[in-house]
Each structure stands twice: as C-alpha cells, then as structure tokens.
A and B are shown apart, each in its own frame.
Chain A
Amino acid sequence: MKITSHEARERISHRDTILETTVRLMIPFIQLYGLYVIVHGHYSPGGGFQGGVVLGASLIMFALAFGLTASKNYMTESLNIIIANAGALIFTGIAALCALLGGMFLDYSVLANILPIDPISWRSHGIFLVEVGVGMGVMTIMISIYWDMASAGRLDEGL
C-alpha cells in the first residue's frame, strides 16, 4: 500500500511531549559543545569542520523534533545563506588581506602590521579566525542540505 507524503504527515502530526522536552533540554548543551570544539581546536582534537557539524546537528535535531517550519523561525533561510556567505568571505577575506598587506596569500604573520603583536602569535590567531569562518560555512550548509533534502526542495514541512 502506497501512501503519499501528505497522508504520512497527517498520521504523525501529533506532538510528542517527551521528545520535545528532551530536545529542548539537549540543544543548549550541544551548541555549547560545538562552540567548545571550534574554540579549543588549537589545544585538543577539533576545529572548524567538526564544531560546525556539531552546531548544524543541533538545529537539524530541532527540525526533526519540532518540524521544519518551526526550525525556520529560529534560523530563517536568508539568515542561513548570509552566514554561509560570511563564513566563506571571512576565510578568503583574511587570506586576501594578508596579500594586500604585503605578505604571501594566507601568511597570517603580516597581520602584525595592523595589530602589533608577535607575528608568530598572529599565525595562531589567524588560524583561529579562519576556523571560525569554516565553522560558520559548514554549519549553515549542513542545515541547508538537510532542509532541501527532507522536504524535496519545497521547504514546507518535510520529515
């Protein structure tokens, strides 16, 4: 027996209190953990890719529990794309800024011409800024791929 996606949605349209409460309690910790993974990429296993995926997973979990339209109230689609573009622009912008300041492309030590601290410390800080850009890009693209995939491009309700 074949059922349409609309009928399937009607069957599971009731809300589950246990599921929603659990997700509501877990999401802040997951997002905090994602930020921790990005920020501690210098001292422990982690970095932009991993932290970005964890942050994206938190919103995907929200969308699974509360429905896709509810998740779009918290992260609107235009904001999502703006953050994705900002992440890519942070990375390429810092790389190009290094070239404009007279160094090599992606050589963060010349950023010491802007803020005079140790050039080798600037390499560390430059890596951190770049990781933040990577995390923003990965997070938003993961959410975007989930939205499109779950609702087959309609962005209405999905799974």
Chain B
Amino acid sequence: MKLPALLATLVTGALLLYGTADFAVWGDPKSPPNSNISVHYVEQAVKETHVPNIVTAILGDYRGYDTMFELVVIYCAGMAVMGILRRREDS
C-alpha cells in the first residue's frame, strides 16, 4: 500500500515537473496568463464599474455568475451538513 502510493506520487510529480518546462517564467508580464483578458480588466474595469478594487469588480460584475453559484455551493454545503448530522435514528 505504501510503496505503490509513493511510486505513484513520484511519477506524478516527475510528470508535473516535466510539464513545467513549457510554463512561463515567474513574474513575466508578457506571459500567456497575463496577456489576454486580464489586460482589458486592468485597463477598463474602473471606467466600466467605478470600483477601484479590480478583484471586487470582476467578482461582482464580470464574473457574477461564478460568485452567485459560489453562494449556492456554500448554502448547499450548510444544508448538507445539517442533513447529514441531524438524523437521530441510529444513535
């Protein structure tokens, strides 16, 4: 049990490290994650929403669906904890 787990972990880690060879250098402003939609957010978010904190602007406006279902997820988690723990027949 222990040895196969360790081997699987090491193989996975080696594959991930091999994959990082194609990733962008740390702190590069021109890397792919930093050069597509986020440029529009940084330049236009304050003009379009009047919110200086760009994270809040994206969270509440551009990605409002994400935040809304986020709230649904945490609501469902609370209901699930109640449903799991408040059953009395087996105690």
Q: In the bound complex, how far is the Cα of B61 from the Cα of A105, in angstroms? A: 11
Q: In the bound complex, how far is the Cα of B70 from the Cα of A53, in angstroms? A: 14
Q: In the bound complex, how far is the Cα of B67 from the Cα of A159, in angstroms? A: 33
Tell me, yes or no, whether B56 is within 8 Å of chain A by CB. yes
Query: Are the CB atoms of B53 and A144 closer together than 8 Å?
Result: no
Q: Give which listed residue, A105, A130, A145, contacts B60 with CB less than 8 A.
A: A130
Cβ distance A127 to chain B, nearest Cβ, rounded Å = 3
Q: In the bound complex, how far is the Cα of B51 from the Cα of A78, in angstroms? A: 35
Q: In the bound complex, how far is the Cα of B49 from the Cα of A123, in angstroms? A: 5
Q: In the bound complex, how far is the Cα of B59 from the Cα of A7, in angstroms? A: 48
Query: Are the CB atoms of A42 and B51 closer together than 8 Å?
Result: yes
Tell me, yes or no, whether A149 is within 8 Å of chain B by CB. yes
Tell me, yes or no, whether A133 is within 8 Å of chain B by CB. yes
Tell me, yes or no, whether A61 is within 8 Å of chain B by CB. no
A contact residues, total (Cβ < 8 Å): 36
Q: Give which listed residue, B67, B72, B77, contacts A145 with CB less than 8 A.
A: B77
Q: Is the interface of B mostly helix, strand, loop or mixed?
A: helix
Given the known A-B contacts A84-B75, A141-B74, are A121 and B82 also in contact in the complex, defined by CB atoms under 8 Å? no
Interface string of B46-81 (1 = CB under 8 A from A): 011111110111011100110110111011011001
Query: Are the CB atoms of B56 and A127 closer together than 8 Å?
Result: yes
Query: Are the CB atoms of A88 and B50 closer together than 8 Å?
Result: no
Query: Are the CB atoms of B68 and A106 closer together than 8 Å?
Result: yes
What residues of chain B lie closer than 8 Å to A91, measured between beta carbons?
A: 67-68, 71
Q: In the bound complex, how far is the Cα of B36 from the Cα of A103, in angstroms? A: 27
Query: Are the CB atoms of A127 and B78 closer together than 8 Å?
Result: no
* Contact residues of A between 132 and 146, Cβ < 8 Å to B: 133-134, 137-138, 140-141, 144-145
Sorted nearest first, the 9 A-B pairs with minimum C-beta distance are A153-B85, A127-B60, A141-B78, A106-B64, A153-B86, A123-B49, A124-B50, A148-B85, A144-B78
6 extra interface residue pairs, beta carbon distance < 8 Å, beyond A42-B51, A84-B75, A141-B77: A47-B56, A124-B49, A127-B49, A145-B77, A145-B81, A152-B85
Q: List 16 A-B contacts (CB under 8 A).
A: A42-B53, A47-B56, A91-B71, A92-B68, A95-B64, A106-B68, A120-B48, A123-B51, A124-B50, A130-B64, A130-B67, A134-B67, A148-B86, A153-B85, A153-B86, A153-B88
